Structure 1
């Protein structure tokens, strides 16, 4: 038997916000709040061993107390308007004590030895996650004085129920093979809900526990934990996510506006399972401590270690509507999860050697990140706005079936095999490709650098590329077309090119001294 407990008392004295003098209509939100929530946990665990079965049984008790009192209000309460707002909300709204939460989470792990070299195992457990303090306690004051966001300290603890079934096999007394399947059900996740009054003076967001999801998958790994020259592991994991919402994101006091919203919203749609496979390996090559010649206790060839770490991750599945690139549920009926960001690859290494001295151990190391200098486009910082992102995505040659769920594509595009995250080769001049409508091609401007030159772009119609020579359209030179396509010169890259790629190869050298 073993057990334990923990207790946390947090003191959040928060004062932060935004100031944007350039855009006069910016909300410039300000946040100021002070809370002292308490949380604690206690657990008890026992291990039982029988012939052919080993069981770990446990239970965890979680306690959460947001502490203090919180506002009592109606959904469209006038206390949130600029007339009262964040400055006077304490004067007009009553308060009541917040809810204290106490939850019990069982845990179970069972192992069935099949032979001396293999076993089956099963794990089951309930887990509770403490909420983020911001949606619990925030009060957002915007530039008009109105309340833009208000916390909800009565949010329940997020709940996860997890199952895992696996098999492990010893191979040749050198490798451990592991096969496992798992499922996690997640509920009571918080999401933001909006309330708007008829006159628009009340317009705020508040968190509600109205999101759910599940994760399922399997993994295969093989590990070598012993050896004089090489150790490491290789792992492949196939994972699939699904999520959904209860309730609706927007709530309008105007019943006509609410009815229009309910007729078109997809908030309550459950997302399709999204596969997210990934693979990793970590290989350590090293020389034994007694390897090589010995010069009065110094072995120059001994104790070297080369660690290689590789990773592949399938790109994130997204929805491209033709105007917006969104995660999660699609805002447009008929299409969902129709594009996937380009896959992520990375390779790092570390070379190190440890020397034993009279002062202690001294380790020399060299770290190299992104060894092959692979370029990964930064989706969050490279684009200067939604128009910039839209122009980039519309320039890609996406698969022909990208918008097959819609009655007609939202724009004309050249079919291909591009993915979001593809980029024009460095140093290649931009050559736009204009897709001509059925009625025929019309000369257009070439680029911002040369806006009066309609001869710059390629023109595409019915599988053929054309150039405009100043007076007529003629079929483009096949070699030129091939080079444009191979170099992806047609991709309209993000305007903030200095923020587009953030992961160049980096080399670090260092010394670590241990006494």
Structure 2
């Protein structure tokens, strides 16, 4: 749930300067409960549950400048971000408590029961019972009960508040009666996605038992990613109701969240002894980046009594990479696995979007006039995804580590949205009743975060081989006579895991009042 408040005030200071001062506050309430188990054995359960209330606050100041046809907007914005979730083990980069059975000592130290009987829970006797048990409410889930008690005693500190300043500048000037040239520069900051900031991913439900371990942890102190954009372009009115626009742009997205592996434990013999206490868990850093540049052209018919529309073509080149490490070792005798040049991926991503709107003029009367029906069609080429494959015997990269980077491509996106609305005028005002249908044909969008990446890439997309055979999200093929969608549901997720596919067909209805 999100609660948001925003407001602004405008004042025309002089004939050429208009000042806007505004601000907004957003408070979120996030809940996540993810539990799963192996269907065949009922073992190796995964558990991730959290509740958080992150907030964001922003204020901005903008000067609208007009001189003899020249229009410029100069502004600055200040944003504050806080994940509002504890940072656990703030003084320990490789907490031994994350190792298998590592939480047991903390549980015993604070008198927290570590088995089902002590928690007042009747243990399931078979795998089917355990599968049903994992669907039980949180109030009867031993993993949740134990974790709630355990989190209260773990060493922690409050997450940091990150403050960022974002300048913005835009200017446009007419070039004759039909044309206009423009230039824009802007810097923006956004909150990291919740999946990167929160939660412990606990392997095996009894996280306080001998077999329990933490295999993934969020980072509430992630910095807000920054987007910087430059663009220059021109508008040209071809006919009285048809306009053509072209713009060239370049930009970057830095401080992007990136997952990597932290490996705790130190070898008993610095010259190569066997490390029997090694443990691994996933963490998140701000080492990702994205560079993009391209050209965008559009033709638009913005005015008309019956038909309006537009066609937009965006030809974009995107380079994705990261500057951090893939594996970070506590053991000083082992070298970290740094990001290699192979991890930098340049991709060409064309996008085409068309809008068609049919409308009836208001002069047709209150019954027939004021109707609008629109449809938007979007095509976007599937982007690439880099999979880091680490195994013995693979060729070493430039850092001398056995990591192989394999590039996969997502399926292309075809998406149709539609809207119908009716505007009714009352005196000087009006109100509009509208209905939206997003993803009209209910095209599936696969959620890679909902499955185990290694199993999905190795067994599903490469079918046990060494090269990609299929695109990410493709559900049209079969393996050994079984549809891949059924295989993914059977092996990797529960049948009722609604997060396997994102952005299903949705409906939205509303009323907009214009006074």
TM-score by length of 2: 0.62
Q: Distance in 2 between matches of 1:334 and 1:135?
A: 24
Shift of 1:233: 0.8
Offset of residue 19 of structure 1: 3.9
Partner of 2:92: 74
Separation in 1 of the partners of 2:388 and 2:153?
44
CA distance in 2, matches of 1:101, 1:380: 29
CA distance in 1, matches of 2:223, 2:331: 30
Give the structure 2 partner of residue 39 of structure 1.
56
CA-CA distance at 1:188 after TM superposition: 1.1
- Aligned counterparts of 2:232 and 2:187: Cα–Cα separation in 1: 16
Unaligned residue ranges in structure 2 (runs of 5+): 1-18, 111-149, 266-274, 391-396, 490-500
Cross-structure match for 1:275: 348
Distance 1:222 1:214, change over 3 A: same
The verdict on how the C-alpha distance between 1:289 and 1:386 changes in structure 2, with shifts beyond 3 A counting, is same
Q: Give, in whole Å, the separation in 2 of the partners of 1:418 and 1:96.
A: 42
5 Å-filtered alignment, 1:310-329, equals 310-317=377-384
Name which one, 1 or 2, has greater alpha-carbon Rg. Answer: 1
Residues 1:55 and 2:116 are matched in the alignment = no
Per the TM alignment, residue 119 of structure 1 is displaced from its structure 2 partner at its CA by 1.0
1-structure distance, mates of 2:176, 2:29: 53
Per the alignment, residue 127 of structure 1 pairs with 188
1:232-267 Cα deviation digits (max 9, x unpaired) = 1111111221111122121234567x44x74xx755
2-side partners of 1:151 and 1:497: how far apart? 29
| Alignment match of 1:152 (pick from 210, 214, 219) | 219
Partner deviation per Cα, 1:81-106 (whole Å, 9 max, x = no partner): 32336857769865455433222111
Query: Aligned residue for 1:453?
Result: none
2: distance between equivalents of 1:386 and 1:26? 16
- 1:190–1:211 CA contact under 8 A, matched in 2: yes
**CA distance 1:74–1:103, change in 2 (3 Å):** same
3-state SS in 2 of match to 1:249? strand
Shift of 1:45: 0.6
Structure 1 residue 189: Cα displacement: 1.3
Deviation, 1:47, is 1.1
Is the 2:385–2:410 contact (alpha carbons within 8 Å) kept by the matching residues of 1? yes
Aligned length: 413
CA deviation string 1:159-190 (max 9, x = no partner): 11111111111222211211111222111112
The 5 A counterparts of 1:387-398 are: none
Asked if 1:114 is matched to 2:175, the reply is yes
Tell me how large the CA RMSD over aligned residues is: 5.2
Give the 3-state SS of the residue equivalent to 2:97 in structure 1: helix
Report deviation, 1:117. Answer: 2.0
The separation in 1 between residues aligned to 2:95 and 2:438, in whole angstroms, is: 57
Structure 1 CA distance for aligned equivalents of residues 75 and 512 of structure 2 = 41
Q: 1:166 to 1:160 in 2, by over 3 A?
A: same
Q: Is the 8 A contact 2:476 2:484 kept in 1?
A: no
Cα deviation digits, residues 423-477 of structure 1 (max 9, x gap): 57xxxxx9x9xxxxxxxxxxxxxx76xxxxxxxxxxxxxxxxxxxxxxxxxxxxx
Runs of at least 5 residues in structure 1 that lack an aligned partner in the other structure: 292-296, 324-328, 396-408, 425-429, 433-446, 449-491
The 1-side partners of 2:420 and 2:86 are apart by: 56
Distance 1:335 1:6 in 2: 42
CA distance in 2, matches of 1:174, 1:183: 30
Distance in 1 between the 2:164 and 2:291 partners? Answer: 21
Distance 2:163 2:506 in 1: 50
Structure with the larger strand share: 2
Which residue, out of 270, 284, 299, partners 1:207?
284
Alignment of 1:422-441 (within 5 A): 423=476
Deviation at 1:279, TM superposition (A): 0.8
1:454 matched residue in structure 2? none
1:48: how far off? 1.5
State the secondary structure of the residue aligned to 1:130: coil
Q: What SS does structure 2 have at the residue aligned with 1:181? A: strand
Mapped to 2, the partners of 1:72 and 1:507 lie a distance apart of 42
Q: Could you tell me which residue of structure 2 aligns to residue 242 of structure 1?
A: 319
> What is the rounded CA distance, in whole Å, between the counterparts of 2:323 and 2:231 in structure 1?
27
2:231 counterpart residue number? 164
Q: 102, 107, 115: which is aligned to 2:163?
A: 102
